[in-house]
Structure 1
Amino acid sequence: MKKSLKIEGMTCAACAKTVERVTRKLDGVTESNVNFATEKLNISYDSSKVKVSDIRKAIEKAGYKAVEETTVDRDKEKKEKEIKYLWKKFIISAIFTVPLLVITMGHMFFESAGFHLPDIIDPMKKPVNFGMIQLILVIPVMIAGHRFFTVGFKSIFKGSPNMDSLIAIGTSAAFLYGIFAIVQIYGGNIDYAYDLYFESAGVIITLILLGKYLEAVAKGKTSEAIKKLMGLAPKTAIVVRDSKEVEISIEEVEAGDIIIVKPGEKMPVDGEVIEGMTFVDESMLTGESIPVEKTIGDKIIGASINKNGTIKYKATKVGKDTVLAQIIKLVEDAQGSKAPIAKMADIISGYFVPVVITIAIFSAAAWYWFGGETLVFALTIFISVLVIACPCALGLATPTAIMVGTGKGAEYGVLIKSGAALEIAHKVKTIVFDKTGTITEGKPKVTDIIVTDAITKDELLQLAASAEKGSEHPLGEAIVKSAEEKGLEFKKLDFFKAIPGYGIEVKIDEKTILLGNRKLMLESNISLENLEETSHKLAEEGKTPMYAAIDGKIAGIVAVADTVKESSKKAIEQLHKMGIEVAMITGDNKRTAEAIAKQVGIDRILAEVLPQDKANEVKKLQSEGRKVAMVGDGINDAPALAQADIGIAIGSGTDVAMESADIVLMRSDLMDVSTAIQLSKKTIANIKQNLFWAFGYNTLGIPVAMGILYIFGGPLLNPIIAAAAMSFSSVSVLLNALRLKGFKPAK
């Protein structure tokens, strides 16, 4: 079973690793991944071995809380509450920290300008007062940042220290040293008045609260795409109950309810029109700006807009089953997933805090015992190392970029199902397009009927249409539609057999009829007579010839042509500009495939491929050492979509194809294939930038805090500067990820 839980109480990437570790230890848990940015745990487990309550207990024992996922509205409310809380705490701490800083540093600045602090707080004249006032001012700041201490020390005692632990140890050390200094001052040693360290504790907490506030605000912006999607659905619906119109909340609508929608209103849920006619704006899902006509029997998509007529429709899908809800689920799952590129950061985050604490102790001890420095100097080193280290930047580097990237994709109708898909897409070197319904419209028409002397054109069309009546293949549908337009009567089938990749065999009026491609005729030992040359000419024109045979003798050809989508040529040109090879795969004969390929600029043609062999063709391309993407829309594309490194399904395609794919193009526009690749490249570049700065910051910052520069005559890092740098590191990673919101695909 799979389950998603919201984790409360996490403050950094080390917390996320702790939750993963304790849950993975449970017998029956097969996979556990925590996304720090979304604060979500995705877990797979055997329900016969472990229960959700056991998982929750393990998480709570580690110091965190696991709750059921809430709606986006509630989640937004919770986030806003958290932002307000952090702002309030920051303001309280700032009110006390500013005067604390003025009193601590004031005597140096004021005296150089010819001014003096009042005697009552002058460190030379009243050192006890000077120390006690600082103590009084720092206590409210420590209270404002109490969460750092409660969470930080609790994590240490549970054996899984986190970022809060670093802050708690560092500021507690500064505070306790200040108390020690005041005791010394009372004893008459006024030298301690100049090194109380209360201001370091106060400013560190204040700056980190500011950083946490800015981080929370930026985090909220990364998930705006989900909020926008959720905002599309109306909150209420008008349904018919006991012959009366009743307005109810969207959550109360049930499948089978009759819903009334007036002009200008949004469709509450998915359904089918039972009364009335209107035009509906479905651009929020399909990207098609022209409203679509809807009459009795037509499908309605929830959240689309009714333009000009009142209709009644029956609800068929409600709640989590609607198209919009499925899209939101896809985006949420993608934002909660991990990309392979994050593995290194995850591993480092797991060991980060204990290593930093060890480095801080080692550095301080080395300077004190071997460097011959004072206790104050060693304390400065100890606090600076603890405070400058930042596992948050590492933990946020990947998930924030994925959240913004997948959200941006959703805005363009490109649904990327996972972080892994987003990462792999930028490596694709070959893209294989299915022909029918992907490169072409998938709405073919009968163009030519060629017959022998044994039958007339209408008779052949009548037999072919009767044979294809139950077919869902686009070519079969075209033949049926042509017969309907001519008013031909359909004959009853006595026998039907589909031969995948070849055609069909039927019995009508005791006649055995074969309808399909050249291979079907040859396999059945049917002579093509002089029709083969005609078939070649039709194929060269981009038409698909279908042979018909009656009782073992060739009867004629029904040629069907499918028009190429307007965007196909432009989309392939764009992919060529990106250095990507484009291939086309089809069951059509080679000549027809070549004609279509010539129109749109295809590099490689894979023709006369049976449905079951499509995946093998993809595998052959992969054996050349290339990352391969497959773009398709039908059930027969599903194995190839699954085999490809990246499967891309057209949104107008089948549920099976969309389920097998890694990326879904909701607008059925092939230009969105290049959009997905471009977005992948931009997102991965952003992740690499984030990881570079996060690793670089810690790699450079920690040695500086240890006093490396001081050895060579440089400055010693002040803990206050270290705190400011630490806060900025997380915020800078988030701000960099938010730059992806400006992404626009090249057209």
Structure 2
Amino acid sequence: MERKLNKLDGVRASVNYATRRATVELDTHAHVADAIDAVHTAGYAAAELSEQAPAVNEDSATAKALFTRLIVALALFVPLANLSVVLAVVPDLRFPGWQAVLVALAAPVVTYCAWPFYRTAVRTLRTGVATMDTLVSLGVLAATALSVYSMFSAEATSTAGQGVWSAIFSSDSIYLEVAAGVTVFVLAGRYYEARARAQAVQALTALAALRATDARVECAGDTTMLIPLAELKVGQRLIVLPGETIPSDGQVIEGAASVDLSAMTGETTPVQVSAEQGSTAVGGTTCLDGRLRVEVTAVGDDTRLAEMIALVDSAQTAKARAQRVADRIAAIFVPCVIALAAATVVGWSLTGASWEHAVRAAVAVLVIACPCALGLAMPMALVIATGRGAQLGIFLKGHAALELSGTIDVVVFDKTGTLTNGQPHVTGVYTVDDDSAELILGWAATLEQHTSHPIATAIAAAAGPQSLAAPVDEVVTDVGSGVRGVIDGVKVQVGSPAWIARSAAVPAAIDARRTDIERSGGTAVYVAADDAVRGLIDIRDGIKPSARQAVDELHRMGIRTFLVTGDNAGAAQRTAEQVGIDDVIAGVLPAEKVAIIDNVRSSGAGVAMVGDGINDGPALASADLGIAIGRGTDVAIGAADIVLVRDDLTTVALALQLASATRRTMRTNLAWAFGYNLAALPLAAAGLLNPLIAGAAMALSSFFVVSNSLRLQNFARIDR
């Protein structure tokens, strides 16, 4: 299917075996209908993805259908196998028509129960492609034909019995139980895979289930009306009552409540939101108590919940680099196995062996070589890892994030909003001459309303809404440094001391106060008017409770830590001492953060950047691995490889540990898948394996890969 789609002009496709989904990208001149036709030509069904998140109903239905066939096959296989072995060991027990009884028991198994294998094999053969279903189908049909011949041969009608072990394990002992047994084992493996796929995307389904179906919107005359969620518009005002799901993202404009974020972030402690705090409401979370009035700021695919669903869906359907290598191997593996089976027949014939023995050995080769384990080795581990990550509040934008996480030697932290709470507050305003604190704070707030930095928010909150009414012109923002403009004809600058000192005179008293503030771990903001500093604002922000534990965890993992911030050296050093960070680089502009990361990387170290602000976007994109705090700006989230929804820095180490556990699982899966085939194929070709045992071994190899991958669902925290 993938090859068919990629042959189309302007179409790029990637098929994931674990999720059984294809991701298809089309250029503007390409048509969806052509892509769907190509899929139908390849023998598969296709449809455009709906706007709603994908569900696991298809996998559940597949599992149910396979389970029905498996039960039928198993119910008939048990008496069939017992009769076959007993009649082979004790020929005297053979009764008139025993062959017909065995055929009657086997017929439903090799027809109805094995039908999914035949159907897929025929579909793919129409396109000139041989798959694992081709091997299974050839094996079952060949074993059936050989069994029927064997039962009516002179050997089967003789009275010379075989030993029990010979009857079960010998490659010369073959009746219909082999064809039925292979069908049972493969069906069991497929059923287990289908169940595993459904479990692997449970996190995605759980996120999709968080969506509300309708919203209670305000109408004229203080009335409300329930409308479908799809009709909700930005700017409408919602009423959310206790116990209800918040329909969409918005700003709390009235009321206070405890909100349960556990399903989305993994945090079990409810979060308090209120209009007084300027809180935002996140769609898909639950209002536990209180009544909220919310103004909608995002709907549909623009909501935080939709973004998280898209991240998980993209990560689960994407294909890792190592998986693409495994796919290329699997593509040539099936034709090679068919060639080996043919060579086995020729080889045994040249040695003078009977053609029955040669065909039995070839059947064993076909059955045991089914590359199901190889096809599942990578995607199953990756799909389950992304699902488990979502449950822990770790959203991977793609499988590349897992691959890159294994190269990390250094983690670089931003300070404001990352290591600190991101809720700085004004603790003091200092002025010169006769200027009032209200004037200085008002000037600063008027300019800072044009930026989204947490410090700007703190200044605006301290000044109050009345200070924002003054007219302002010629506003220019110097990212990472400050902002300047004209307020009532006065040229005002607000920003870092170093930036303002380049163009404005700094009184000695102000400079001395700045030194004291920075030594005590605060942040000083200068306010200048007409080329002279007129005041200073003292800003403080608390350290996140999880910061120290997160840094200690990284150190235990052997990872070096840096604090790179645009803040002053005193505040940066104080923060680093509080959380235990190794190296500090302060007074850094956004562009310089990129240069610092490149410099660290030049020594051969893999670098991860953790940030949340608009200033961190370039650094997050430049690092080997970008990690954004989920409540950060759209720029930071857009540039990152991993998004942490929980405001808990220990998830940084947890994300790296999850990646490490996933890589180990993938390596184990691949080693087993390749090692199993390398060891089993020569034994089968040498005629040392009964096809029945070969079928069991093949099914067990897939069982091992899926079971090994499912262990990631229990991942919590390692290397403690």
Answer whether TM exceeds 0.5 for this pair. yes
CA root-mean-square deviation: 3.1
- The 1:72/1:85 distance shift into structure 2, 3 A limit, reads farther
- Select between 181-190 and 581-590 the one with higher mean Cα deviation: 181-190
Task: Pick from 182, 187, 195 the counterpart of residue 204 of structure 1.
Answer: 182
SS at match of 2:407: coil
Q: 1:381 offset after TM fit, Å?
A: 1.0
Q: CA deviation at 1:425?
A: 1.3
In structure 2, distance between residues paired with 1:23 and 1:409: 31
SS in 2 for 1:167: helix
Aligned to 1:146: 115
Shift of 1:195: 5.9
- Of 87, 91, 101, 1:107 maps to 87
Amino acid corresponding to residue 82 of structure 1 in structure 2: T
Cα separation, 2, equivalents of 1:274 and 1:40: 42
| AA in 1 matched with 2:87 | H
CA 1:264–1:481 in structure 2 vs 1: closer, same or farther (change >3 Å)? closer
Instruction: Give the secondary-structure state (helix, strand or coil) at the position aligned to 2:546.
Output: helix
1:278/1:295 contact within 8 Å kept: no
Contact 2:412/2:609 (8 A) holds in 1 = yes
Alpha-carbon deviation of 1:318? 4.0
Q: How much identity, in percent, do the aligned residues show?
A: 36
2:62 maps to 1:82: yes
Matched, 1:24 2:2: no
- Partner of 2:181, secondary structure, is helix
Matched with 1:117 is 93
Q: How far apart are 1:399 and its partner, in Å?
A: 1.2
Matches within 5 A, 1:61-460: 61-69=41-49, 75-110=55-90, 116-117=92-93, 119-120=95-96, 129-144=97-112, 145-181=114-150, 197-235=175-213, 237=215, 250=229, 259-272=238-251, 277-286=256-265, 287=267, 289-295=269-275, 299-311=280-292, 313=294, 316-369=297-350, 371-453=351-433, 455=435, 457-460=437-440
TM, length-normalised to structure 2: 0.90
Shift of 1:589: 2.5
In the alignment, the residues of structure 2 paired with residue 392 and residue 645 of structure 1 have an alpha-carbon distance, to the nearest angstrom, of 33
Q: Does 1:610 align with 2:582?
A: no
Q: 1:274 to 1:361 in 2, by over 3 A?
A: same
Q: 1:174 to 1:528 in 2, by over 3 A?
A: same
- Matched with 1:726 is 698
* Counterpart selection for 2:546 from 561, 567, 571: 567
Take 1:253 and 1:608, find their aligned partners in 2: how far apart are those partners?
45
User: Residues 250-309 of structure 1, C-alpha deviation per residue, up to 9 Å, x if partnerless?
Assistant: 556566666554322222333455665543323333426134233498543222222233
Q: Distance in 2 between matches of 1:506 and 1:28?
A: 49
Query: Are the counterparts in 2 of residues 195 and 376 from structure 1 also a CA contact under 8 Å?
Result: no
1:212 is paired with a residue whose SS is: helix
Give the partner amino acid of 2:646: R
Query: 1:311: Cα distance to partner?
Result: 4.6
Which residue type is aligned with residue 85 of structure 1? Answer: A
3-state SS, counterpart of residue 263 of structure 1: coil
8 Å Cα contact 1:346-1:395 kept in structure 2: yes
2 CA distance for matches of 1:242 and 1:469? Answer: 32
**In structure 2, distance between residues paired with 1:213 and 1:595:** 57
Alpha-carbon separation, structure 1, partners of 2:134 and 2:254 = 64
**Residues 443, 87 of structure 1: alpha-carbon distance in 2 compared, 3 angstrom cutoff:** closer
**Taking structure 1 as reference, are residues 466 and 153 closer, same or farther at Cα in structure 2, changes over 3 Å only?**
closer
The CA deviation string for residues 104-132 of structure 1, in whole angstroms up to 9 with x for no partner, is 22124457xxxx52532xxxxxxxx3434
Where do residues 528-607 of structure 1 align in structure 2 (5 Å cutoff)? 529=508, 531-607=510-586
Q: What are the Cα deviations for residues 564-600 of structure 1, in whole angstroms up to 9, with x where unaligned?
A: 2222122111111111111111112223322222222
Residue type at the aligned position of 1:661: A
Does the residue aligned with 1:542 lie in a helix, a strand or coil? Answer: coil
Report the Cα offset of residue 377 of structure 1.
1.6
1:474 Cα offset (Å): 2.5
Query: Which secondary structure state, in structure 1, belongs to the residue aligned with residue 290 of structure 2?
Result: coil
Structure 1 residues 658-677: aligned runs within 5 Å = 658-677=637-656
Q: Which amino acid aligns with 1:220?
A: A
The amino acid of 2:59's aligned partner reads K
SS in 2 for 1:545: strand
Distance in 2 of aligned mates of 1:224 and 1:376: 48
Sort the Cα spacing of 1:651 and 1:456 in 2 relative to 1 into closer, same or farther, 3 A: same
Which string of whole-angstrom CA distances, capped at 9 and with x for unpartnered residues, describes residues 118-172 of structure 1?
532xxxxxxxx34343333322222121232232244334320111111111222
- For the 8 Å contact 1:218–1:731, the answer to whether it is kept is no
CA distance in 1, matches of 2:255, 2:577: 45
Query: Which residue identity is paired with 1:732?
Result: F
- Aligned residue for 2:15? 34
Deviation at 1:219, TM superposition (A): 2.2
Cα contact 1:132–1:182 (8 A) shared by 2: no
In structure 2, the CA distance between the partners of 1:368 and 1:70, relative to structure 1 (3 Å rule), is farther
Using the TM superposition, name which of 353-362 and 497-506 deviates more. Answer: 497-506
**1:390–1:729 contact (8 Å) kept in structure 2:** no
What is the CA–CA distance in structure 2 between the aligned matches of 1:618 and 1:634, rounded to whole Å?
A: 17
Q: Offset of 1:375 from its aligned partner?
A: 1.5
Pick closer, same or farther for the CA change 1:697–1:242 going to 2, 3 Å.
farther
Deviation of 1:431 (Å): 0.9
SS of aligned partner of 2:386:
helix
Distance of aligned partners of 1:458 and 1:320 in 2 relative to their CA distance in 1, 3 Å threshold: closer
Alpha-carbon separation, structure 2, partners of 1:311 and 1:521: 43
Give distance in 1, aligned partners of 2:148 and 2:710.
Answer: 43
Within 2, Cα distance between the matches of 1:241 and 1:483? 34
How far apart are the structure 1 equivalents of 2:551 and 2:601?
Answer: 20
* Partner SS state of residue 538, structure 2: strand
8 Å CA contact 2:551, 2:580 repeated in 1: yes
For the pair 1:526 / 2:505, whether they are aligned, the reply is yes
Name the stretch that deviates more: 406-415 or 313-322: 313-322
User: Could you tell me how far 1:313 is from its partner in structure 2?
Assistant: 4.5
User: CA–CA distance in 2 between the matches of 1:434 and 1:642?
Assistant: 14
CA distance in 1, matches of 2:160, 2:550: 75
Structure 1 window deviating more from structure 2 (732-741 vs 293-302): it is 293-302
**Cα 1:622–1:611 shift into 2, 3 Å:** same
Alignment partner, residue 7 of structure 1: none
Aligned-pair distance for 1:312? Answer: 5.3
**1:305-357 Cα distance to aligned partner (Å, 9 max, x none):** 22233455555544434322221121111111122232331221111110111
Paired letter, 1:23: L
**Structure 2 residues not aligned, in runs of 5+:** 163-171
Q: Quick check: 1:239–1:248 contact (8 Å CA) kept in 2?
A: yes
Please report how far the alpha carbon of residue 561 of structure 1 lies from its aligned counterpart in structure 2 after TM superposition: 2.2
Q: Which amino acid aligns with 1:678?
A: Q
1:730-745 matched pairs, under 5 angstroms: 730-745=702-717
In structure 1, distance between residues paired with 2:60 and 2:439: 71
**Are 1:638 and 2:607 counterparts?**
no
Deviation of the 1:649 alpha carbon = 0.8
Q: Is the 8 A contact 1:161 1:354 kept in 2?
A: yes
Instruction: Kindly state the Cα deviation for residue 246 of structure 1 after the two structures are TM-superposed.
Output: 6.1
1:295/1:197 Cα in 2 relative to 1: closer, same or farther (>3 Å)?
A: same
**Residues 624-633 or 79-88, more deviating:** 79-88
Q: Is contact 2:55–2:205 with CA below 8 Å preserved after alignment?
A: no
Query: Corresponding residue for 1:123?
Result: none
Q: So what's the TM-score if we normalise by structure 1?
A: 0.87
